[in-house]
Structure 1
Amino acid sequence: MGAGRVAAGATGGVRSGGMADRPGAEELLALAVDVATEAGQLALRGRAGTVAAESTKSSPTDVVTALDRASEALVAKRLLEARPDDGILGEEGADATGTSGVRWIVDPIDGTVNFLYNLPNWAVSLAAEVDGEVVAGVVYAPALGRTYTALRGAGAALDGTPLRVSAVESLDMALIATGFGYTVERRTAQINVLTRVIPKVRDIRRMGAASLDLCSVAAGTLDGYYERGLKPWDHAAGGLIATEAGAVTGGLDGAPGTEALYIAAPPAIFGFLVDLLAAEPRADRD
């Protein structure tokens, strides 16, 4: 899809920082869409064959496939071919500082366990950050046939159609998504939280890809989302998409959303969800 269809009225401008050649957000988004689409199609073709866990990270269940690494390598190659002075941060190890003020944040396959089991809920997530602020993002889910995009200050879209969060007004009527870490200790703490959250909401979903959970909040097909343990590549693009669709994102006590806790929900219920999670014992926040 053309990046020009993403959000009507986008100016394409970002802070110049005194650099005349600083790119516009629309330019960065167009590149992000092209690169994420190419990487997603590479992974989708690879998924037609046999896929196995090649290695693990935080635990034996936290897997990496060869296609995770191939996807990230392709993304890094294409981005640095187009913009050699940019930085890049990737889940599978891509890490370059850059000198342009632009940094790309990539999750080459978000939802690797879903991908491994041939479940369709996985995506390539790619965000462009300028001077530390995410200004453009794409979450491309090839097995679902969906491309979510956003420009800061110019809205979010699904395949060119503008997105808006749900109109839910009470937490007890809200469908909330969450996720779990891969270590026994973190999962145990998260389950303890869940047993106290679930009586207060309509229901809980756990779909296994943070970027797509955030996009679902943006689309109004989920009313809210929270998770501990997210890294920047998990939420950089999806968080911008959710925010530009009208969601509030953050952590506890007015903090921004971080690895400690990331919450996204429409304004009407965001505070209630924060209060519910803040009421949990400190041990459950570790």
Structure 2
Amino acid sequence: MTMELRDLAMQVARIAQDAGEHALSNQVTPRSLTEVSTAARDYSHGLELDGRLTQFIYNRLTYVDPFNGRWDERSDEWHAGDRYWCIGGIDGVINYTRNMAEWSVTVSLFEFNEFGSAQPILGVVHAPALQLTYIAARRSGAIRMRATPLGEKREKIMPSTTRSLDGSVIGFGMSFKSDEARHALKVVGDIAGRPADMKRIGPSSLDLCKVADGTYDAYFEPHLHKWDVPALSAGAVVLWEAQGQLSNWRGDLIHWRSENNLVATNGLILDDLKPYLVESWDTGDESDGTFGDAPGGAAADSSQPAR
């Protein structure tokens, strides 16, 4: 009998937490950190730790259910119902290397439907230094687990009910590449004065979860790349299951094999925020940024609440 997704998600969370302990130990032991190539300002390759971390997680997952393997090692052959683990390294490499607490370990599970489109149906985002874990599975809702002096506490989460940018709290992200960062900063400048506060903390997985649990009313970021897919897919399931909304800046579906300009909201504030995003998109230099490799010649996978 196939394990229920909710039970599977809890097992995955425990594995992510164990992996997180190793990563946290590495963070607080500076001599064990491998420098990213800061001279070239290229943080897309992450840390040497990432390879060990993802392999540790996958080895543990195979004892639970290996399914059809790893998302990053899938072939062009697919069948409806095929499932692949999508495992991220450290999401928030800069935060991690600068001894900040806001970084995470992420795991998601993709499933192919009869049309050859693969959607994430399970997501875990674990922030070891914050002692927070977000867990979600299709049709099972989303919860946040946090450590308290009385032990572990589990809470069902839901987005805020803020409808206007006025007085809101907005999170945003931006690339380490200057030409990509300008798109985010244009939006920040355009809406300045309306929100009560705008936060730039990251990483993207936690920003999505902060919309899911009502910390932020919305979060936006342009130019999210292929290496962001593990973090985005895990956070997306948490957001969907909490009843938040996810789209690109024009309101279209997210594509899992394309560069994305992402906006996550409580579902109420988007109408007020979207015009600023669309204006920035239309005046910017956008590209498809497709990754290719869509299985079976299918179009790039797009996101939708997996229900």
Q: Does 1:95 align with 2:73?
A: yes
Structure 2 contact 85–107 (Cα < 8 Å) conserved: yes
Q: Does 1:60 align with 2:46?
A: no
CA distance in structure 1 between the aligned counterparts of 2:241 and 2:285, rounded to whole angstroms: 28
Structure 1 contact 59–183 (Cα < 8 Å) conserved: no
TM-score norm. by structure 1 comes to: 0.82
Alignment partner, residue 244 of structure 2? 247
Structure 1 contact 53–64 (Cα < 8 Å) conserved: no
Letter in 2 for 1:47: Q
Distance 1:272 1:130, change over 3 A: same
Structure 2 contact 26–33 (Cα < 8 Å) conserved: no
Query: How far did residue 55 of structure 1 move?
Result: 4.0
Instruction: Please identify, of 185-194 and 53-62, the stretch whose mean Cα deviation from structure 2 is larger.
Output: 53-62
Classify the secondary structure of the residue corresponding to 2:130: coil
CA distance in structure 1 between the aligned counterparts of 2:284 and 2:196, rounded to whole angstroms: 22
1:144 corresponds to which of 130, 136, 140: 130
Alignment partner, residue 158 of structure 2? 164
Classify the secondary structure of the residue corresponding to 1:225: strand
User: RMSD in angstroms over aligned alpha carbons?
Assistant: 2.4
Distance 1:256 1:59, change over 3 A: farther
Structure 2 contact 111–119 (Cα < 8 Å) conserved: yes
Alignment of 1:35-184 (within 5 A): 35-50=15-30, 51-56=32-37, 59-62=40-43, 64-89=46-71, 94-97=72-75, 101-131=82-112, 132-159=118-145, 160-184=154-178
TM-score norm. by structure 2 comes to: 0.77
Structure 2 contact 123–235 (Cα < 8 Å) conserved: yes
Instruction: Please identify, of 272-281 and 153-162, the stretch whose mean Cα deviation from structure 2 is larger.
Output: 272-281
Classify the secondary structure of the residue corresponding to 2:160: coil
Instruction: Please identify, of 49-58 and 117-126, the stretch whose mean Cα deviation from structure 2 is larger.
Output: 49-58
Structure 2 contact 183–280 (Cα < 8 Å) conserved: no
Structure 1 contact 217–247 (Cα < 8 Å) conserved: yes
Distance 1:130 1:41, change over 3 A: same
Q: Percent identity?
A: 26
Describe the superposition over 1:183-232 as per-residue Cα deviations: whole angstroms up to 9, x where unpaired: 12112333233211323433210112011111111111111101112232
CA distance in structure 2 between the aligned counterparts of 1:233 and 1:66, rounded to whole angstroms: 17
Letter in 1 for 2:90: I
Alignment partner, residue 232 of structure 1? 229
Q: Does 1:197 align with 2:191?
A: yes
CA distance in structure 2 between the aligned counterparts of 1:157 and 1:85, rounded to whole angstroms: 24
Query: How far did residue 95 of structure 1 move?
Result: 2.6
CA distance in structure 2 between the aligned counterparts of 1:69 and 1:235, rounded to whole angstroms: 19
Alignment partner, residue 263 of structure 1? 263
Alignment partner, residue 6 of structure 1? none
Query: How far did residue 73 of structure 1 move?
Result: 1.8
Describe the superposition over 1:247-276 as per-residue Cα deviations: whole angstroms up to 9, x where unpaired: 111113331134321111112112222222
Describe the superposition over 1:93-145 as per-residue Cα deviations: whole angstroms up to 9, x where unpaired: x5344977111122221111111111100111111122222221111111101
Structure 1 contact 163–245 (Cα < 8 Å) conserved: yes
Distance 1:29 1:285, change over 3 A: farther
Distance 1:58 1:218, change over 3 A: farther
Unaligned stretches of 5+ in structure 2? 113-117, 146-153, 287-307
Query: How far did residue 58 of structure 1 move?
Result: 11
Query: How far did residue 57 of structure 1 move?
Result: 9.4
Classify the secondary structure of the residue corresponding to 2:205: helix
Query: How far did residue 177 of structure 1 move?
Result: 0.7
